[in-house]
Amino acid sequence: MRYLGVLGGMSWESTASYYRLLNQGVRERLGGLHSAPLLLHSVDFAGIAALQKAGAWDAAAEQLVVAAQGLQQAGATALLLATNTMHKVAPALEAALSIPLLHIGDAVGQALQQAGVRRAALLGTRFTMQENFYRLRLERFGIQVLVPEPAAMAEIDRVIFAELCCGQFTDASRVFYLQQLQALQAQGAEAAILGCTEIGLLLDGCSPPLPLFDSAELHVAMGLEWLLMP
């Protein structure tokens, strides 16, 4: 049996969605009482977030490597890292594991490519929007990434850490995010990447100005494809 490792907790709000969607996906495809054979390690996000803020990415990577190796030793035969931002340290995880890391950037890039999208807006943490680890991954699929203005990026980042990761989803933040998508559409964006795994929770049920590509949902779909492969 294939066991899928899920390294989450960053934040647990989105990890809960991963768990629900993976199990729903297996049940929809196999029926009956089937559910997803998963191994889950959920970290304490406060420590990881502090290392992010301090720029101590090597130390954060060390913590995730230990957790990922534990999942591998427990029997996981592939890994989902249930966060966009921490894919900055994906190379360290890949080097430390003998099982595949199913990369969230590949899940998003493949979906955009298949939809014929060439220019996509990106909303996420400031690390995901400003640094090149995510952008370069998407460029492999021929995707040009557009991001908000610096002041808007700062507010998007604040909302993620101060609200979304704490389970707070306000109308004011929802309106602000939709306004940023409108601004990026005016700059030529053909679609929008929800490049933080909590943003889909905020925009659920909205009528956005652009087609949305939810990174968490696409990552789950990649995990299901691997898990249910004949």
User: How many other C-beta atoms can be found within 10 angstroms of the C-beta atom of residue 7?
Assistant: 26
Same fold, 4-103+218-227 and 105-215: yes
In the chain, domain spans: 4-103+218-227, 105-215
The residues that are catalytic are 83, 196
Give, for all 230 residues of the chain, the pLDDT tens digit: 699 999 999 999 999 999 999 999 999 999 999 999 999 999 999 999 999 999 999 999 999 999 999 999 999 999 999 999 999 999 999 999 999 999 999 999 999 999 999 999 999 999 999 999 999 999 999 999 999 999 999 999 999 999 999 999 999 999 999 999 999 999 999 999 999 999 999 999 999 999 999 999 999 999 999 999 88
**Domain 105-215 belongs in CATH node 3.40.50.1860:** yes
Instruction: Indicate the burial class of 197 (C-beta count within 10 angstroms; 0-12, 13-18, 19 or more).
Output: buried
| Integer angstrom CA distances of residue 45 from 12, 70, 81, 86, 178 | 8, 18, 13, 11, 27
Instruction: Indicate the burial class of 195 (C-beta count within 10 angstroms; 0-12, 13-18, 19 or more).
Output: buried
* Residue 102 near residue 28 (C-beta atoms within 8 A): no
Q: In what order do the strands lie in the sheet with 38-42?
A: 38-42, 4-8, 78-81
CATH number assigned to the domain covering 4-103+218-227 = 3.40.50.1860
pTM: 0.95
